[in-house]
Amino acid sequence: MERRERYLSDFEAKKWIIEIGKRMYAKNFVAANDGNISVRTGPNAIWATPTGVSKGFMTPDMLVKLDLNGKVLSGKNRPSSEIKMHLRVYKENPEARAVVHAHPVVATSYAIAGISLERALSSEAVVLLGKVPVAPYATPGTEEVAESIAPYCRDYNAVLLANHGALTWGRDPQEAYFRMESLEHYALMSLYTGEVLKKVNELSCSQVSNLLEIRERMGIRGGGTPSCRPDELAGGDSAWAEALRTGTAGTDSPRTDGLRMDAPRTDAAREDAGRVAAPRAEAEKQAVIEEIIAKVTEEVLRRLS
């Protein structure tokens, strides 16, 4: 974690911004000149993307250096008007060393629908991202956008901007950018399971609590606790099977407003889920949990290496 204990140099910051811009554009997270990226290089300094350029075609000389009040310190271009929300993240969360803003299609669709991403669907999403709330709409480029995201900057790793896009931050540029990738991935899984397959088997609460321990060991403080399936309804428990059969599964698990994906909705899906929920030995459950933990740990170590 040594890389997180120091500020990046101007050279490193600019290199990261250009690389992230290219990847963001190639992955269709932005169209035309959309999006912006910043990296903190000191207690009162950031490098940021300029206004009016495509993030896929930037060169280092286009970037702008600013202080945390938004005053330009060097660079020939004007900074993006959306830089206000970046500055707010750095002010609210001293741990943040990079901020990425984009309009990825699936995550932005959730933002447009006003649906937050809060369910424990996959181990990676729980560990690397956590819950993603929706901040109320504000006109892009205005101070209101900064106000709208302020309450989420410390307790979360990402936020959806209603009818606009997504914002992620991290302890270094790679973490901030990977969170944007993870967010779009999470949104896509949510869309497929909830709206296409119409079947969602959430992780159980004890599985989620194991994942949160891993997250804590990685020093990730934000992300909250995603909603999970109560353990008494987990795996082979007959109550869960019964709940699936009667179609009441999932209705008593903790949810927040805006979530509307329920457990299996069709008779066929319920039958299917009933089969999945066949009685399972305790040891077998433990093995599944351990396998998930091993997979997440391996992936996390790979990303950190």
Q: How far is the CB of 167 from Zn ion (least distance, A)?
A: 9
Euclidean distance between CA atoms 243 and 235, whole angstroms: 12
Q: How far is the CB of 164 from Zn ion (least distance, A)?
A: 6
The smaller minimum CB distance to Zn ion, of residues 35 and 130, is found at: 35
Neighbour count for residue 174 (Cβ, 10 Å): 16
Beta bridge partners of 79: 50
| Residue 131-160 contact track with Zn ion, rule CB under 5 A, x = bound | ------------------------------
Q: How far is the CB of 187 from Zn ion (least distance, A)?
A: 16
Which single residue is written with the structure tokens 């077998």?
A: 284
How many residues in the shown chain lie near Zn ion by CB under 5 A? 1
Euclidean distance between CA atoms 22 and 303, whole angstroms: 19
The smaller minimum CB distance to Zn ion, of residues 163 and 206, is found at: 163
- Strand-pair category, 36-42 with 64-66: unpaired
The smaller minimum CB distance to Zn ion, of residues 31 and 287, is found at: 31
Q: How far is the CB of 161 from Zn ion (least distance, A)?
A: 7
SS3 135: strand
Enumerate residues 6+ apart whose C-beta is below 8 A from 190: 110, 117, 119, 121, 261
Q: How far is the CB of 141 from Zn ion (least distance, A)?
A: 9
The closest residue (CB) to Zn ion is 165
Q: How far is the CB of 177 from Zn ion (least distance, A)?
A: 16
Euclidean distance between CA atoms 138 and 163, whole angstroms: 9
The smaller minimum CB distance to Zn ion, of residues 108 and 227, is found at: 108
Q: Which of 19, 82, 184, 242 is catalytic?
A: 82
Q: Decide: is 194 part of the binding site for Zn ion (CB under 5 A).
A: no
Neighbour count for residue 243 (Cβ, 10 Å): 24
The smaller minimum CB distance to Zn ion, of residues 165 and 235, is found at: 165
The smaller minimum CB distance to Zn ion, of residues 21 and 165, is found at: 165
Euclidean distance between CA atoms 272 and 261, whole angstroms: 17
Q: Is 5 a catalytic residue?
A: no
| Residue 156-185 contact track with Zn ion, rule CB under 5 A, x = bound | ---------x--------------------
Cβ atoms of 79 and 64 within 8 Å: the answer is yes
Q: Calculate the CA dihedral of residues 54, 56, 57, 63 and round it to 10 degrees.
A: 70
The half-sphere exposure of 139 on its side-chain side, counting CA atoms within 13 A, is: 2
What would the two tokens of residue 130 be? 């956590």
What would the two tokens of residue 279 be? 């009685």
The contact set with Zn ion (CB under 5 A) reads 165
So which residues are the catalytic ones? 82
